[in-house]
Structure formats: structure tokens, C-alpha cells
């Protein structure tokens, strides 16, 4: 059972480049989220989706776009990379009913460096 799969695991970008972080889950979860984790800051929500075709902003959305065309996939796009976007990015998914909504299943993360 693969769970939540993120690619790539590592990426180095130059300032101004764009790229897409991929995320796929095979648990048929309705909810999916993107977080970034920075030292001393904890995990912060970038964008989330409650189902195919529905996305919304989290607390740090600037510089990122998302789309959700299928239940399984939730890619995160960096439009024009900046050094402030150097971070570890986690994709997560969860069920959509009851208290299970709060239990996030995380991918292994993407470590991104922007030079």
C-alpha cells in the first residue's frame, strides 16, 4: 500500500525558475493538503483541497498554485521560485468524515533549495 507519494525527494532551483511538486495518494481520501516545514516554524498550511475541483488557500499561499483534477493527485506549483521558498514540503491526505478529518497521512517530503 503506497499511501501518499511525493516526487521529487530533492530539488535545487535557481531564483525565478518554476517547478511542480507532485503528490499522489491511493487511499481514496477526499481531503489533501500541502505544508511547508521550516526550522523554528513548525508545519504551515499552504493550500488544501476538499475534493476534485475544489481548492482553497491556507496560511502561507503566496507564490504557490494548486489544482485538483482527480481525487488521487494534488500538485503544487511554484510560479517563480524565491530563496524564501527553501523548505521541506509535505503533502498530506485525510478522510472527510468525523474526527478522521484531522488525522493527516503524510508523504515522505520534498527538500527544496532555491539559490
Partner 1 sequence: EDKVVQSPLSLVVHEGDTVTLNCSYEVTNFRSLLWYKQEKKAPTFLFMLTSSGIEKKSGRLSSILDKKELFSILNITATQTGDSAIYLCAVGSYRLDSGGYQKVTFGIGTKLQVIP
Contact call for residue 43 and partner 1 (CB under 8 A): yes
CB of 18 to partner 1, least distance (A): 25
Q: Does 5 bind partner 1 (CB under 8 A)?
A: no
* 89 counts as binding partner 1 under rule CB under 8 A: no
Whole-number minimum distance, CB 98 to partner 1, in Å? 10
Is residue 79 left, alpha or beta, with left meaning phi > 0 and alpha meaning psi from -120 to 50?
A: alpha
Task: Name the 3-class secondary structure at 22.
Answer: strand
56 contributes a contact to partner 1 by CB under 8 A: yes
* One of 13, 21, 23, 31 touching partner 1 (CB under 8 A): 31
Length of the chain, in residues: 115
User: From CA 40, how far away is CA 57, in angstroms rounded?
Assistant: 22
Residue among 56 and 80 whose Cβ is closer to partner 1: 56
Contact segment (CB under 8 A) with partner 1 among 16-24, 37-45, 60-68, 69-77 equals 37-45
Quote the cell numbers at residue 69.
483534477
**What is 84-97 written as a DSSP string?**
GG-EEEEEEEE-SS
Residues within the interface to partner 1 (CB under 8 A): 4, 31, 35, 40-45, 48, 50, 54, 56, 90, 96, 99, 101-109
Amino acid at each position: 500500500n503506497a499511501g501518499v507519494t511525493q516526487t521529487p525527494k530533492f530539488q535545487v532551483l535557481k531564483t525565478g525558475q518554476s517547478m511542480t511538486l507532485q503528490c499522489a495518494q491511493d487511499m481514496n481520501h477526499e481531503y489533501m493538503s500541502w505544508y511547508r516545514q521550516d526550522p523554528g516554524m513548525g508545519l504551515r498550511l499552504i493550500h488544501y483541497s476538499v475534493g476534485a475541483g475544489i481548492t482553497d488557500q491556507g496560511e502561507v499561499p503566496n507564490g504557490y498554485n494548486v489544482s485538483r483534477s482527480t481525487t488521487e493527485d494534488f500538485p503544487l506549483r511554484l510560479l517563480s521560485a524565491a530563496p524564501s521558498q527553501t523548505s521541506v514540503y509535505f503533502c498530506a491526505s485525510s478522510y472527510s468524515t468525523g474526527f478522521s478529518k484531522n488525522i493527516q497521512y503524510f508523504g515522505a517530503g520534498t527538500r527544496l533549495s532555491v539559490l
